[in-house]
Structure 1
Amino acid sequence: MKRRKVGNLLALAILSTLVERSMHPYEIASILKARGKDRDMGIKWGSFYTVVRNLGKHGFIEAVESTRDGARPERTVYRITDAGRDEMLDWLRELLAELAPEEPKFVAGLSVMAWLGPDEVISLFRTRLAALDEEIERSRGELERLIEELPRLVLLEGEYRLAMRMAEAEWVRSILGELTSGSMPGLAEWRAYLAEGGSTRS
Structure 2
Amino acid sequence: MSRPLTPLALTVLRMLCDSPMHPYEMQQRIRDHAYDHAVKITHGALYHSVERLAASGLIEPLETSREGRRPERTTYAVTAAGRDAAQIRLAELLRNPAAEFPLFGTGLAFLNLLSEDEVARLLRSRAVKLEATLAGHQAAHEALLKQGLDRYKLIDQEWLIARARGELEFVRGLVDDLDSGGLTWKDDDVQIRCHPRPRPPQHDDEGTS
Q: Map 1:136-175 onto structure 2 (within 5 A).
A: 136-148=134-146, 149-175=148-174
Count of residue correspondences: 197
Q: Map 1:126-141 onto structure 2 (within 5 A).
A: 126-141=124-139
Aligned counterpart in structure 1 of residue 76 of structure 2, from 75, 78, 81? 78
Alpha-carbon separation, structure 2, partners of 1:143 and 1:39? 11
2:36 corresponds to 1:34: no
Alpha-carbon separation, structure 1, partners of 2:144 and 2:197? 46
**3-state DSSP class of the match of 2:101?**
coil
Amino acid at match of 1:166: R
Aligned residue in 2 for 1:181: 180
State the 1:4 CA deviation.
5.0
Answer whether contact 2:33 2:144 (CA < 8 A) is retained.
Answer: no
Amino acid at match of 2:109: S
Deviations 1:62-88 (A, max 9, x none): 111111223332211111000000011
Deviations 1:118-161 (A, max 9, x none): 11100000001111123223433443454343222211111111
Aligned counterpart in structure 2 of residue 65 of structure 1, from 63, 66, 69? 63
Amino acid at match of 1:182: G
Unmatched 5+ stretches in structure 2: 199-209
Aligned residue in 1 for 2:119: 121
State the 1:60 CA deviation.
0.3
Alpha-carbon separation, structure 2, partners of 1:99 and 1:172? 24
Alpha-carbon separation, structure 2, partners of 1:70 and 1:151? 37
Answer whether contact 1:6 1:51 (CA < 8 A) is retained.
Answer: no
Answer whether contact 1:63 1:78 (CA < 8 A) is retained.
Answer: yes
TM-score, normalised relative to structure 2: 0.85
Amino acid at match of 1:140: Q
State the 1:92 CA deviation.
0.9
Structure having the larger proportion of residues in helix: 1
Amino acid at match of 2:111: M
**3-state DSSP class of the match of 1:23?**
coil
Unmatched 5+ stretches in structure 1: none
Aligned identity (percent) is 34
**3-state DSSP class of the match of 1:76?**
strand
Amino acid at match of 2:131: D
Calculate the aligned-residue CA RMSD, in Å.
Answer: 2.1
Q: Computing the radius of gyration over CA atoms, which structure comes out larger, 1 or 2?
A: 2
Range 146-155 or range 7-16, more displaced: 146-155
Aligned counterpart in structure 2 of residue 21 of structure 1, from 19, 22, 39? 19
Answer whether contact 1:129 1:173 (CA < 8 A) is retained.
Answer: yes
Alpha-carbon separation, structure 1, partners of 2:135 and 2:66? 45
Amino acid at match of 2:172: R
Alpha-carbon separation, structure 1, partners of 2:172 and 2:30? 35
Segments of 4+ in structure 1 off by > 4 A?
Answer: none
Aligned residue in 1 for 2:86: 88
Alpha-carbon separation, structure 2, partners of 1:134 and 1:71? 41
